[in-house]
Structure 1
Amino acid sequence: MKTLEKLLQQVDGKSYPAYKDLRGRYDFKDYQLNIEHVQGDPFAAPSKLSVDVPGGQADFPAWTYETKEKRVALQDFLLRGFYQQTGRYTHKAKGSGKSGVMSVSRCGQEVLERTGCEVQVTDGSVKVRLEVGFPANGRRIQAGELRRILFEFLPVCVKNALYYAKVDQKKLEQTIWLAEDQKALRGELKARKLAAFIANGAVLPRESGVSDLPMKQSVVFRSPKELEVTLDLPHTKGLTGMGIPEGVTLIVGGGYHGKSTVLQALERGVYPHICGDGREYVVTDESAVKLRAEDGRNICSVDISGFISNLPNKKDTHKFSTLDASGSTSQAANVAEAVSAGARVLLIDEDTSATNFMVRDELMQRVVHRDKEPIIPYVERVRELYEEHGISTILVAGSSGAYFQVADTIVQMDAYVPYVITEAAKREAENFPKLKCDAKPLEKVKQNRVPLVKNQGNDSRAAGRDDNYRYGGYGGRGGRGAYGGQDGHVGRGERNGRGEHGGRGDQNRTKIKGLGRDGFLLNKEQIELRYVEQIVDGEQTQMLAQILNYMLEHVFDGTKNLDLCVSQVERLLREKGMAAVVGDRCIPGNLAMPRREEIYACVNRYRGLKVR
């Protein structure tokens, strides 16, 4: 602390780059402050700091972090509390640009593993990463204002949010218990052969299209008696709700009656939710994938022959590639890729699907004969997917009754209230011609694509990036470059300066720029993820960018298929954490763990992907 105070006095009033002398680790008695990256000027992205609280000081009981689900829940709880604390002090220190900013990850309704907060399972020590805008007047250092942040504001935030004695212990207990219940509920899905579960009393509608908060005064969910299931969880006995069985489930009803609302809750049910969200006990098979048509997406050598074949241009659909897919080909590829990723449940909404991929009515079949139609609609494959390959489907339909004949369970939503109408719908379907299904059986459902070593253009990029690790990035004008090489695009300074260790920065290093939940830029290549609808947080997108970059440089070697490549990265993340794919750079505090299925989706949408 004393060393930091002296340094602050020395740099006060100097030009902004002098702030870089503050980088280092400082003992604040009860915790350690790490100044890891200093911004280049007051208008740049804020400086990156972290706080380490020893387990003996934080003093959280071992039962709050002894298992992964408890540890992630505790981290989420602490990060939300720290966010509330820093929000009271942000911008209280004055200055130009981003001076006085204090920010950490802003968590949504889902509980995700994030780099913003980490709890060590060995000793219960806590690390929180945050960003602080170092104050300046113009571009002159205001050290007195930074001292207020580091010596007055931050200690209060740490004390109130990261010490067990100061947090709401009852609320923390409820958080940990909910995490245990949600894990047990997922186990019940497998034991009872359920694809999903929605508890009675759940609040499914959201506040608005731009708010994920529960809608006030909305109709709460109530299971139809035919599908009602009662479960005993570790901390919640007699939990009753609708169990959606494995197989083919059809959700129908009029417009605005809640069909898509149910499906949206199910697609988010792959993640645990916080207390008060309304969907705490809405749980879907953790491998479930939401599918849709995705016009214009990139497809690289995917076998879609089970759904599309005999194209008039003789294009091979066993290894189908395009830079601009149509609705039907994109949805066929999405199904094939999801199944190959290991999805056991497919979630589909008629509204966002390609009509010609989903159904083909009798009149159309009579006019356009089978030998003139290359598309085998999903309705002809849905039962085979379940009966032969164990892949269930939950489908929302509002205009076509074609799936009545093939569904196992049919639920009608009426003013947000579900009713089972399976028998009545089946009786009505008997009055219509029986569905013709003469397509050949699926040859395979798993893809066996081997990503090739990155092309020559990427080789130079990787080499430059390695140089950048050694020599830093661009320096400031006339000054030293701080974290240019080690912190990706965020820490880039001005050109023509010296690197941190005396070498010149390399202009060919990998640059990553997040685009929120919609995707990211890897150098100049945009990876479009806006239609990967189970990405719920922009921090997951940032993590996917890091994972893809790591795979391009370290995993894709031309010998392993994509499944093995993803499994290798999963194992690395599980054993060493998210920092393992970031490398020796400053670990960002804005990364959140994606699922295996989203890693697949990200790789498949990378236009630079080459496979054999």
Structure 2
Amino acid sequence: MVPWSNSVCSSTFLSTRFIWPLRKIMSEKRGGYAFRRRGVSTSRRLEDSRNPRYVLPEYSRDIPGKELFESQDIRPEEGSKELRGTWDDLRKLLLRIDGQRYPAYKDLYGGWKHSSFFLAVENIQSDPFAPPSRFRVLIPREIAGFPEQTYSSKAREVALRDFITRKFWASCHGLHLDKAAPNKGWGSSKGANLNIDKPKQHILERSSCVFTEKFVEVRFTVALPARGRTIEGVRAKEILIDGLPQVVLSSCLMDSLDYDELLDHLKLAEDQEFLRNTLKSMKLVGFVADGAILPRKSGASDEPLSTSDVVTFESPASMRVSIQLPNHGTITGMGIPEGISLIVGGGFHGKSTLLQALEVGVYNHIRGDGREFVCVDPNTTKIRAEDGRAVTSVDISSFIKNLPFGKDTRSFSTEDASGSTSQAANIMESIEAGATTLLVDEDTCATNFMIRDRRMQALVSKDKEPITPFISRIRDMYERHGISTILVIGGSGDYFDVCDTVILMDSYRPYDVTKRAKEITVELPSMAVERENKGSDMFMLPCQRAPIPASLEGARRGGRGRIRATGLYSIEFGSEEIELDAVEQLVDPSQTRAVADILDMMLDTGLINGKRIIGELLDAVEEMINQKGLDCIAPGRTIVGNYARPRRLELAAALNRLRGLQVTQKRVNSKTTT
């Protein structure tokens, strides 16, 4: 036995067991984790010359031939910057490292030249259990061969990238390359699957495929195969050397694709975008095409119901409008006018189904979805009650005043909002972020926020009730500020007094019953509307707020120091979890990933500086993405292939739900829209 007094042994023991772990812990507290994750310290700033390593990445990193891997845009710690060799050289390397320990996979770093494309190895996973390795292929545009008319507009370009991504995934699936080896224990085979961020029913702007000046670039992942921690080089060769070229050549070259199918995809997206942007000039906030299929297959599937007895949509004659599209000619359907529209009817007759279709009408859809021409105002948002959410300095005084103990509702904050205060905050935050049309379903609302009937008014006088119900503000919101509302309601006819349009759903078919609803208001007076329509009793736009960066920085440094999406409706933000279950217009986890990294980027680059109000932050982010693409939000200049672009409204919703957020109220904008 070696005595503990041995100086060498003692030094080694202390260094191994105590000193190095202590240094690791201390580095985490000094921002070491952020440095390793982002390639920069947590104090990086957009224009900080003291930190030149952080530069907002260009939309592309495409440089032909050998120069591709000599660009300064490639991070030094990601391996060799040189073109490593040919496709045959890569094959030999994979066979050479067969049977070696897993870290030998890092020899793949760099670039490899196929006869038709370049393969760039961006990140190698640390072990078989880590997230898969990141790759990208770059096909010269002259080889890809896509004609200019396939990307002649922004809508077409986004749809083209979406189409290539879908075909890439379909090719992987058809060749069974997307199936990982079953994990049967430590020593069993693992990984061996090639995947790309799979699109769903919606056509979203993604980072999985980008078009640059010289290249078509496709980003994907490979779980590099191993048995235990021993490299299976032969299986890796089958994926990268044999399988990948088949996938690329069948999905990324115009000559390999069905041109008519591609053109139909592009024209469909372009027409949906045109329709959505045409609504305002027609004084509409929504449109549902005749023949649309609104019901979904199930609560867990966004695919259309395909049974033989499905009821297709048919517009009421009095609400039918015709719209001339650039590619599909004239289509007809139900136009929902600006103002206040009610969707009424008995239970299970399709009220909520129609509203749910309108919710996702802010996105373009693929052929066969059934909702291809269901479109709404681009700035439409869904509103609901959200018990328990955090609220930070939101002016909800238009709805709630005179709380017990003199709590100020002009700057209302709480860590545990009630149904009514959360719904009021959701409305005001959405308007602050730019919403111009609200979608509301009574099933997910706070009853006391929506209405106070005549009997309750008689029992509880107005001076004892702090809530001014939504029914008393909805008219002001439209007439003074141009904010329209589409409301599903089946339990109260009091809203007939304040609405412009009433749509009755009967056995999934819509009927215009506006005239009859107005007759009922005369026959059966309600007296539920409590509004004076003058002075301070009118609906006022919310105060603008500027987030304080120190409050976000404090949350980010807590916990494990991570900012990442953990699901469609959840973001880990340091020590806090941002819960987005009530943000129903998030439709893809890749949007949530983008939201998480945008929050991180806004803090790192100094966009959040305590002076910019939320609207200005959202404008700045949209401008950055418009100019540079989604790459500009990636941490540490990495290349991320699984982003989908979120709307500004969902980004604002995530920021507003961060517990611990602090803001400064800047000013009140009471501008009236006529």
Q: Give the TM-score normalised by structure 2.
A: 0.81
1:9 Cα deviation from its structure 2 partner: 3.3
Partner of 1:467: none
- The separation in 1 between residues aligned to 2:560 and 2:361, in whole angstroms, is 38
1:513 equivalent to 2:587? Answer no
Once the two structures are TM-superposed, the CA of residue 402 in structure 1 deviates from its matched residue by: 1.3
Match of 2:669 in 1: none
2:262 matches 1:172: yes
The residue that corresponds to 1:452 in the other structure is 548
Decide whether the 8 Å contact of 2:379 with 2:437 is kept in 1.
yes
Tell me the equivalent position of 1:53.
139
1: CA distance, partners of 2:178 / 2:316: 52
Question: Is 1:384 aligned to 2:472, yes or no?
Answer: no
**How big is the shift at 1:64?**
0.7
2:495 matched residue in structure 1:
403
Q: For structure 1, which segment, 50-59 or 582-591, has the greater mean C-alpha deviation from structure 2 after superposition? A: 582-591
State the partner residue of 2:294. Answer: 204
Distance 2:331 2:95 in 1: 61
Structure 2 equivalent of residue 162 of structure 1: 252
Counterpart Cα distance in 2 of 1:419 and 1:355? 26
| Structure-1 separation of matches of 2:581 and 2:236 | 39
Tell me how far apart the structure 2 counterparts of residues 80 and 237 of structure 1 sit (CA, whole Å). Answer: 27
Percent of residue pairs identical: 46
Range with greater deviation from structure 2 (206-215 or 523-532): 523-532
Matched-pair contact (CA < 8 Å) for 1:42–1:97? no
Alignment of 1:279 with 2:371, yes or no, is yes
CA distance in 2, matches of 1:243, 1:545: 36
**Equivalent in the alignment of 1:528:** 579
Question: Following TM superposition, by how much is the alpha carbon of 1:574 offset from its aligned partner in structure 2, in angstroms?
Answer: 1.2
Partners of 1:173 and 1:572 in 2: CA distance: 29
Question: Which residue in the other structure is 1:481 paired with?
Answer: none
Is 2:391–2:412's contact at 8 Å kept on the other side of the alignment? yes
Kept in 2, the 8 Å contact 1:93–1:145? The answer is no
Q: Does residue 433 of the first structure (1) align with residue 520 of the second (2)? A: no
Distance 1:164 1:337, change over 3 A: same
SS in 1 for 2:206: coil
Q: In the superposition, relative to structure 1, how do residues 364 and 158 fare at CA in structure 2: closer, same or farther (>3 Å)?
A: same
Match of 1:484 in 2: none
Q: After alignment, is 80-89 or 378-387 more displaced?
A: 80-89
Residues 527, 92 of structure 1: alpha-carbon distance in 2 compared, 3 angstrom cutoff: closer
Structure 1 residue 68 corresponds to structure 2 residue 154: yes
What's the TM-score, normalizing by structure 1? 0.90
Q: Partners of 1:436 and 1:9 in 2: how far apart?
A: 78
How many angstroms apart in 2 are the aligned matches of 1:93 and 1:204? 35
Structure 1 distance, partners of 2:551, 2:326, is: 52
> Equivalent residue for 1:221?
313
- Once residues 79 and 461 of structure 1 are traced to their aligned partners in structure 2, the CA distance between those partners, rounded to angstroms, is 36
Distance 1:552 1:93 in 2: 37
Letter in 2 for 1:90: L
The question of whether the paired residues in 2 share the 8 Å contact of 1:229 and 1:241 is answered with: yes
Q: 1:13 aligns with which of 99, 109, 113?
A: 99
CA distance in 2, matches of 1:107, 1:579: 18
Q: Is 1:336 aligned to residue 387 of structure 2?
A: no
Give the alignment's Cα RMSD to 1 decimal. 1.8
User: Could you tell me which amino acid in structure 2 is paired with residue 561 of structure 1?
Assistant: I
After superposition, give the CA deviation of every residue in 1:41-68 in whole Å (9 maximum; x if it has no partner).
1122211111111101110011111221
How far the C-alpha of 1:179 sits from its partner, in A, is 1.7
Q: Distance in 2 between matches of 1:273 and 1:92?
A: 27
Check whether the contact 1:93–1:148 (CA below 8 A) recurs between aligned residues.
Answer: no
Structure 2 letter corresponding to 1:89: H
Contact residue 362 and residue 378 of structure 2 kept, 8 A:
yes
* Residues 290 and 97 (structure 1), Cα distance of their counterparts in 2 relative to 1, 3 Å cut: farther
Tell me the distance in 1 between the aligned counterparts of 2:156 and 2:652.
27
The residue that corresponds to 2:329 in the other structure is 237
Q: Aligned residue for 1:193?
A: 283
Larger radius of gyration: 2
Q: Secondary structure at the match of 1:449?
A: strand
> Partners of 2:100 and 2:471 in 1: how far apart?
70
Distance 1:426 1:93 in 2: 61
Higher mean Cα deviation, 137-146 or 159-168? 137-146
Shift of 1:517: 1.2
Give, in whole Å, the separation in 2 of the partners of 1:438 and 1:370.
Answer: 12
- Asked if 1:38 corresponds to 2:131, the answer is no
Cα separation, 1, equivalents of 2:194 and 2:96:
23
Which consecutive unaligned segments of at least 5 residues does structure 1 have? 463-507
- How many Å apart are 1:438 and its aligned residue? 2.5
2:222 alignment partner in structure 1: 132
Q: CA offsets, 1:132-176, max 9 Å, x none? A: 111112211111111111111000000110000011111101011
1:570-581 equivalences under 5 Å are 570-581=622-633
1:300 counterpart = 2:300: no
Residue by residue over 1:15-60, the C-alpha shift from the partner in whole angstroms, topping out at 9 and shown as x without a partner, is 1111112111111121111111111111222111111111011100
- 2-side partners of 1:423 and 1:97: how far apart? 69
Query: Given the alignment of the two structures, is residue 558 of structure 1 paired with residue 645 of structure 2, yes or no?
Result: no
Query: Quick one: which of 151, 160, 167 aligns to 2:241?
Result: 151
Aligned partner of 1:113 in structure 2 is 205
Instruction: Determine the C-alpha separation between the residues in 2 that align with 1:103 and 1:424.
Output: 56
For residue 112 of structure 2, the aligned residue among 22, 26, 45 is 26
Report what 1:494 is aligned to: none
Mapped partners of 2:211, 2:583: distance in 1: 30
User: 1:559-610 CA distances to partner (integer Å, 9 max, x unpaired)?
Assistant: 2111112211111111111111214343222111000111111110111321
